[in-house]
Structure formats: structure tokens, C-alpha cells
Amino acid sequence: MTKNVSTKLHLTLATYRVSKTLQNLYLGIMVTLLPGNIVYGGAITNRKTNNYKSLGHFVIEKYKEFDDKIVMIDAVSGKEYTAKYMHDSVIRIAYVLKSLGVKAKDVVGLSSENCIEFAITLFGAFAINATVAPLNVTYSEREVHHAINLSKPKVIFASGTTIERVANVAKNNAFVKNVISFSSEKSTSDILSFKELLESRSIPSNTMLEYEEVDKNDDVILIVCSSGTTGLPKGVQLTQANVLSVLDSQLTATSIPIGEVKMLTVIPWFHSFGCLTLILCACAGTCLVHLPKFEDHLFLSAIEKYRVMMAFMVPPLMIFLAKHPIVDKYDLSSLLALLSGAAPLGKETVNQIKERIGVPIIRQGYGLSETTLSVLVQNDDACKPGSVGTLAMGTYAKIIDPDTGKILGPNQRGELCFKGDCIMKGYIDDAKSTRSSIINGWLHTGDIGYFDENFEFFIVDRIKELIKYKGFQVPPAEIEALLLTNSKIKDAAVIGKPDEEAGELPMAFIVTQPKIQLSEQEVIDFVAQRASPAKRLRGGVMFIDEIPKNPSGKILRRLLRDLLKTKIKSKI
């Protein structure tokens, strides 16, 4: 339902406040160009988190401060949760974790869709300075095994949809001492009940936590999985200082609290983007309306019912708002801002949404798991078509020639590199990958871009070969390795097939063994049975005589993309 003139006039002041919130939240006070063509986002002038012993201490004190304010709404059940409820529940789960033998620096696994239990567990682990390792809920047992062998969790919490997979894998990994289910009413010998633990009478009614000082620069608080280009996911280690610096730059450095805004999210909290925005909203006192997954009617009705003002988005959701006919059946006039991340967003989609729904503010940004959250974000003064905004405060950026390492100036294309307190500690148990990614303190992103004379950044290509499917990073090498386990396949290569809705679809080029019959559907089914949904061959299969490679054996994906383009043109 399109906004009428009266509604637009009525929301003018609110729109202005949201706009200024975004401008102050995400961007440096003064972006400058330092000697040597280094771009600097400006100093973080107000580090309030320094007054707290740890991230857990900061979160819990914020919940105490917000008291009876409603801070979370489950849009499926309609249940509302106050800050006081969160405060008390987080402390109780912290006590439970201690009783299970979890201590500071131990790892807590978390495999669940967005739900209140996820948030309570996350912050409960933070409260005792344990490290949390979120797990993708679509992981197969093979992928769960790999992920937990990176982080070595002592306990794993799981939802009803993942508990069976998690429990099966945990049996074969002795470092997992307990598995806790969010859905079970009663504990068994193998699986404990979250509900039973949370409500246990053995927990003192006035449980108090003694917060311990931590080495914020060294102590890892999150291990998030980030797919590399050479196989299974790597574990990105984010320290207390990484997360606290993001909170300082995006929250406490502004006088206009994001807590005044009702926010909707369907971004998975097991994803770094979702997890960090959950933490940000909790510390801001934002009323966060959350969904476990995207369902069109539920998503739209949540905006309408709760008069949502802002929403965290990814491009496929933006395309849905721009094009799906069902959108016209709902009143979305409360929406003032959409914040899109995880993959590039086209100018046409932005314009379609503004025209169709009347959302006055649409912003996108750029970040990696390795940068904790966004390091580049648009604002009113930095939102040229195609840009991803300008640099966040406390962060440095440079563009280098990928071949020579020379630092480039404005409007010169090269690899984006970042430096600052938000840059990860490194990949867990992978010193080689860490050394190749962080050189002299600079994170080399593998993405090609440039900045203009106004310090707006543009992403134009990428060196890395990750396929971006609906915001998920899919490594071609992992699918290729899986395909090569099929005895009928001699060689294989995987690329991303462009797709307007998903961004890219994994597509395979297959060389069969001599005198072997193999159908496209057989190959698609083979991968589907062994990999998570994002890695399935939705782009199809093409059979070819030979995979093009350079003398050292590296797959020449550029030639495969050219071959795909030729095939598409021949069908037109």
C-alpha cells in the first residue's frame, strides 16, 4: 500500500531523525586522505565501552539500564520480551554454563535459527567470557563436523531443526561434553533441555555474576565461519576489542540512539552480519522484531503489525519488495529505512522500492566477517549510484595494485585493504591463511574497487572466486572437491552463474570419465545429497571435453564464464 501525502508529511520528522541516526551511526566524523593515499575514517572520540570489563559486562549492564522496555518481539508467536527478562535469563544461562563446566575461553557452539533462546545463550556465554561459535543451520553432518573441529566447543546448543545432526556429529567428537536442545521439554541422558536448565530451581533466585577483567585485544569472543576459495569454511576469530570497537564507532559515538527505532530482522544470527547486528541492537535498546526465516506473508505482516521503521536486508529481500505482487496487499507505510548488506544491490532495485513503497532511505554497505561488521556504509552525503558509501570511523583503507602492491590514488582500481581495531585476530589454527590475508596489519580483501574524490567507495570486481548466493559465500573449490569424489567424473570446475534474484547460482562444468554416461540431473542430485542448500547446483551443469587451466593447474574460470556467455547468447 503506497504512502499517501498525509502520511508522508506526518513522518517527515521521524524520517529526518532516522536519516541523521544512520549518518552518525555508521560514518566517521571527518574522512580524510592521509599522506601516501591512505583514507582515514576519523578517530573514535567516545569509547564508552572502556568503562566495562568485557563485552558480556557491557551487554548485561545495558539490559539492566533498559529495564521494562520491550527489546525483542518474536514475530511468529507474538511474544514480547523486556530487557529485564533478557537480563535475568542471560544471567541464569551464564550460571547454567558454569555448572556444566564451561569457563572463560571455552567454546560454546550455537546451531539455531533466530529465536529468543539463541540471544539468551549468546549473551550468557559472553557473560562468563566464553567464546561463541555460531553454526550455519543448513550445514550437513560433514560440514558440522568440519566446523566444530575448528572451534572445539565444549557444549553445543541446537534448535529442533538441527538437534539431530548436531547430536550425531557430537557423538564422534569427544571434546563435546553436552548437547542442549532448545525444543526439548525434558532432558535425556544424551540431550539436555534448555527450558529445563533455564527454569532449574537449583539456580539461586538472585544470582549475581562477578565480571572478570579480560585481555580485550587477545581474548576471542566469536568464531564465525567464513568460506575461503580453497575448500571448507575457515574460522574467523573476532576478539572482544573487535566487537567493542564496532559498538563504540556505531553506537556510543552518536548522541541519537538507534534504540528509538523499531527494527525488523530476518538475517540469520549464525551469520556474522546477523550476529553483530543482534549485539548492536541489544546494546542500543532497540526493539528488535525477529523472524526465524523468510516467509513472504509473515515478513510483510510483521512490518504492518508492528509498524516497523527500519529493517536489515539482503539483496534477494530487496528484489522481493521491488517486484513481488503480494507486497501491494500490505501497509508498509511505517518503513523509513532499509539497510542492505552481504552482496551488491543494483540501482534499479533501489529506485523500484522507493517508487513502489515510498521508503525514503535505502542504504547499503560493505563488510566481511574478517572486518567484524561494515567498514563502508552509505549516508545522506555518500550514496552515489553504485557506491557502498564511505569509511567508518576508526578505520583506515587503501587501494593497491594487485600485481605490484603500489598504493593507488582516487579513481584508480585495485585491491581494497583495511586496517583498524575491527580487523579479526586471524583464522583459527590456520596461520598460513592468516599471514596471506593480514600483511603488516592490513587486511587484504581480494575485492577490486576504488574511491573517488569524495571518498565514496565502489566495488567493481573481486580477485577471490567466492560465489555469492543470496548473501552466502560459496567456495567453488569445495563443490569441485565433492564432485571429484564421483567415480564417473574425471574433472570439474564450478563458477557463479549470474542471477537477478540470488546474485549468483553455483554452476558446474563436468568432464566425464571415458565411455561413461552421466546426466545433468545425476550430477545435481549428487551434490544436493551431500552439501548444504547454498552449495547446490542451481545454475545447472554443462558437459565439456576439458577444463581450461593455466600451466600451474589453476582453473581459468574467466574462460568458463566466457563459454557460459556464449551459450546464453546462442539461445537468444
Q: What is the pLDDT of residues 212-239, one digit of tens each?
A: 889 999 999 999 998 554 567 899 999 9
Sheet of 191-193: strands edge to edge? Answer: 191-193, 178-181, 155-158, 107-111, 131-134, 220-226, 234-239, 426-427
How many Å apart are CA 313 and CA 349, to the nearest integer? 13
Distances (CA, A) of 132 to 107, 228, 237, 434: 6, 20, 10, 20
How many distinct helices (H) and strands (E) make up the chain? 17, 30
CB atoms within 10 A of CB 279: 25
Distance separating alpha carbons of residues 536 and 167, to the nearest angstrom: 24
DSSP string of 499-561?
Answer: ETTTEEEEEEEEEEPTT----HHHHHHHHHTTS-GGGS-TT-EEE-S---B-TT--B-HHHHH
Report strand pairing: 234-239 vs 220-226: antiparallel
Q: What is the pLDDT of residue 287?
A: 96
Give CA–CA dist 508/523, Å, rounded.
9
Which single residue is written with the C-alpha cell 559515538? 253
CA 313 vs. chain centroid, Å, equals 11
- Cβ-in-10-Å burial (0-12, 13-18, 19+) of 208 comes to exposed
Q: Which pLDDT value is given to residue 227?
A: 59
**In angstroms, rounded to a whole number, what is the distance separating the alpha carbons of residues 543 and 511?**
6
> 356 to each of 1, 294, 308, 319, 485, how far by Cα in Å?
8, 21, 17, 12, 48
Contact 200, 192 (CB under 8 A): no
The number of CA neighbours under 13 Å toward the Cβ of 479 is 35
Q: What integer pLDDT is reported at residue 14 of this predicted model?
A: 52
- What is the reported pLDDT for 257? 46
Given the C-alpha cell 546451531, which residue does it identify? 111
The Cβ of residue 346 has, within 10 Å, a number of other Cβ atoms equal to 15
pLDDT value of residue 9: 34
> CA end-to-end span of the chain, whole Å?
37
pTM listed for this prediction: 0.83
For 373, the grid coordinates are 561488521
Ranges of beta strands (E only) in 52-181 are 70-74, 80-82, 107-111, 131-134, 155-158, 178-181
279, three cell numbers:
549485539
Angle between helices 83-99 and 55-66 (to 10 degrees): 140
Residue 506: its pLDDT value, please?
96
Range list of β-strands (E), 368-464: 374-377, 390-391, 395-400, 407-408, 414-420, 426-427, 438-439, 442-451, 457-462
Which SS3 state, helix, strand or coil, does residue 11 take? coil
Burial of residue 61 (CB within 10 Å: 0-12, 13-18, 19+) is middle
Cα–Cα dist 424/115, whole Å: 27
**pLDDT (tens place) for every residue of the chain, 572 residues total:** 444 433 443 444 455 445 545 544 444 447 999 999 999 999 888 888 999 999 999 999 999 999 999 999 999 999 999 999 999 999 999 999 999 999 999 999 999 999 999 999 999 999 999 999 999 998 999 999 999 999 999 999 999 999 999 999 999 999 999 999 999 999 998 999 999 999 988 887 666 788 888 999 999 999 999 855 456 789 999 999 999 999 998 875 443 345 678 999 999 999 999 999 999 999 999 999 999 999 999 999 999 999 999 999 888 888 889 888 999 999 999 999 999 887 667 777 888 899 999 999 999 889 999 999 999 988 878 788 888 999 999 999 999 998 889 999 999 999 999 999 999 999 999 999 999 999 999 999 988 899 999 999 998 766 767 888 988 878 888 899 899 889 999 999 999 999 988 889 999 999 999 999 999 999 999 999 999 999 999 999 999 999 998 665 678 888 999 899 888 777 76
Fold of 467-570: GMP Synthetase; Chain A, domain 3 (3.30.300)
Q: CA-to-CA distance for 148 and 16, rounded, in angstroms? A: 45
CA distance 520 to 569: 21
Domain boundaries, the chain: 467-570
Please work out, in degrees rounded to the nearest 5, the angle formed at the alpha carbon of residue 554 by the alpha carbons of 549 and 560.
50
C-beta atoms surrounding 138 within 10 Å: 16
Cell of 496: 557463479
Binning the chain into helix, strand and coil, the percentages to the nearest 5 are: 35, 25, 40
Contact of 419 with 381, CB cutoff 8 Å: no
- 140 φ/ψ angles, rounded to the nearest 5 degrees: -75, 170
CA-atom Rg of the chain in angstroms: 24
pLDDT tens readout for residues 468-498: 898 887 888 889 989 988 999 999 999 999 9
Cell numbers at residue 146, please?
A: 568440519
Give residue 338's identity as a one-letter amino acid code. L
What is the spatial distance between Cα 30 and Cα 27, in angstroms, rounded to a whole number? 8
Q: Residue 207 corresponds to which amino acid? A: T
Instruction: List alpha helices for 255-405, DSSP H.
Output: 272-284, 296-306, 315-323, 347-357
